[in-house]
Amino acid sequence: MNLTKLGKIFADQEKFRIKQAEKLIFKDLISDWKQASVFSLALREKLQENLPLAIENKLFISKDGRSAKAIIFLEDGFKIETALMAHGDGRNTACLSCQVGCPLACKFCISGTNFKRNLTLDEILSQALFWARYLKEKKIGRLSNIVFMGSGEPFLNYQNVFQAISYLNSPDYFDISARKISISTIGVSEGIRKMVNEKYQVNLAVSLHFVDERTRVEMMPATKKYSLKKMWEAIDYYIKETNRKVMFEYILIKGLNDSKKEAEALALIMKKPLYAVNLIRYNKTGKLEPSETKAITDFRGVLRNRGVEVVERHRFNEDIFGACGQLIGK
Ligand code: SAH
């Protein structure tokens, strides 16, 4: 898919034609120009040749039959992964990647092993389009939520991510409300500050994971550059300006960050308005082990007792190696 090309192909056509084409792609979710019977055969052939709609992919469907992940093959031979979480209550969330691999190289995440380049606007949107088509074909419903939690750091591909958000949000394209779009960052303070002035009121999630900065830098080497001090300042500025909640992601790894002492330390930091915690059981990617269920319950208990808002992330796609931290692993 190539939106710029679409403009070129329709440059010499009447104005309403490009609108028709966009409706066919984003609303009717056609995957072949043969289905575009409103266009002449000549135009359909031209479109087929210059702007094929097929998205090259390999699909893996989870045991539950709904959640899935897909490898998408890019034009230059690289590949990315994207995941779908069908919650069964009408919410269908696509987890999008924004880079080929990830430059951050966090030790617990496989996506960080092989950074190549930023994704283009079209490559980001193709992932959403892929799942929108899938949901329609399987009669599951419509794509309702987006999380930028696949491989890559959204704030290191800021412009393309926010341009993608404008399409995801637009009633003419995906029509997903900004409140149902979330960006997750390792804590790039410049990005957090910049986001304050965006037109789209998308949700902000921050990968905190460790309260002790030494361990954090060790496990997430890129945070040497994005220090906690700068991050907290940016987040407090963000909250002051937007009055919106920030979700702190905290992966629970056995023996590394799941003790009561760490829960107490986290609770202290979280005792601020509009701070909330998202606990995530670590998905296995190597030698580290996920926390025991009891450790997770105790950890959550400490936070709740201290009045911290806590949610736990539901686990999807583990059987197809498509859970958080596992994208582009196998
Ligand atoms: N670079 C951004 C966007 C990626 S989001 C960020 O760091 O936030 C991917 C989410 O999955 C992050 O919260 C990340 O910390 C989490 N994650 C990574 N590896 C994981 C693993 N092995 N188990 C569970 N969650 C993991």
The pLDDT tens digits for 276-303 are 999 999 999 888 999 999 999 999 999 9
pLDDT at 77: 95
User: Tokens 């309403």 — which residue?
Assistant: 16
Confidence check: pLDDT of 208 > 70: yes
**Delimiting residues of CATH 3.20.20.70 domain(s) in the chain:** 57-329
Within 6 A (CB) of ligand 1 lie: 104, 108-109, 149, 153, 184-186, 207, 249, 251, 280, 282-283, 285, 324-325
Using one digit for the tens of pLDDT, what is the confidence trace for 236-257?
999 999 999 999 999 999 999 9
Give catalytic residues, as residue numbers: 81, 324
Q: In the chain, count of helices (H) and strands (E)?
A: 10, 12
- Nearest C-alpha to atom 1 of ligand 1 is from which residue? 153
Give the predicted TM-score (pTM) of the model. 0.96
pLDDT cut 90: percent of the chain above it: 88
Over residues 74-92, mean pLDDT: 95
Q: How far is CA 236 from the centre of its chain?
A: 23
Residue 193 burial class via C-beta count within 10 angstroms: exposed 0-12, middle 13-18, buried 19 and up? middle
For residues 145 and 152, what is the distance between their CA atoms, to the nearest angstrom?
19
Residue 11 in tokens: 């440059």
Closest residue to atom 20 of ligand 1, CA basis: 325
- Residue 111 φ then ψ, to 5°: -60, -25
Among the ranges given (182-186, 263-267, 324-328), the one the predictor scored with the smallest mean pLDDT: 324-328
**Whether the Cβ atoms of residue 248 and residue 206 lie closer than 8 Å to each other:** yes
Beta bridge partners of 249: 207, 278
Rounded to the nearest whole angstrom, what is the distance from the C-alpha of residue 168 to the centroid of ligand 1? Answer: 22
SS3 content of the chain, % helix, strand, coil (to 5): 40, 20, 40
Residue 325 Cα to ligand 1 midpoint, Å, equals 5
Which residue's CA is minimally distant from atom 5 of ligand 1? 149
Confidence of residue 177 (pLDDT cuts 50, 70, 90): very high
Q: What is the mean pLDDT of residues 83-95?
A: 95
| Residue 114: per-residue pLDDT | 86
Residue 255, token pair as written in the block: 């023996």
Per the structure block, which two tokens stand in for 239? 């909250």
pLDDT in the model for residue 329: 59
Give the architecture-level CATH label for domain 57-329.
Alpha-Beta Barrel (3.20)
Helix (H, G, I), strand (E, B) or coil at 101: coil
Q: How many residues comprise the chain?
A: 330
Contact 89, 104 (CB under 8 A): no
Pick from 207, 278, 312, 317 the residue to mutate for probing ligand 1's pocket: most ligand atoms within 8 Å of its CB: 207
Mean of the pLDDT values across residues 191-201?
Answer: 96
Q: What percentage of residues in the chain have a pLDDT greater than 70?
A: 99
Best of 118, 148, 149 for a ligand 1 pocket test (most atoms within 8 Å of beta carbon): 149
40 C-alpha to ligand 1 centroid (Å): 47
**Considering the chain, what is the average pLDDT of its residues?**
95
pLDDT at residue 66 in the model: 80
pLDDT at residue number 330: 54
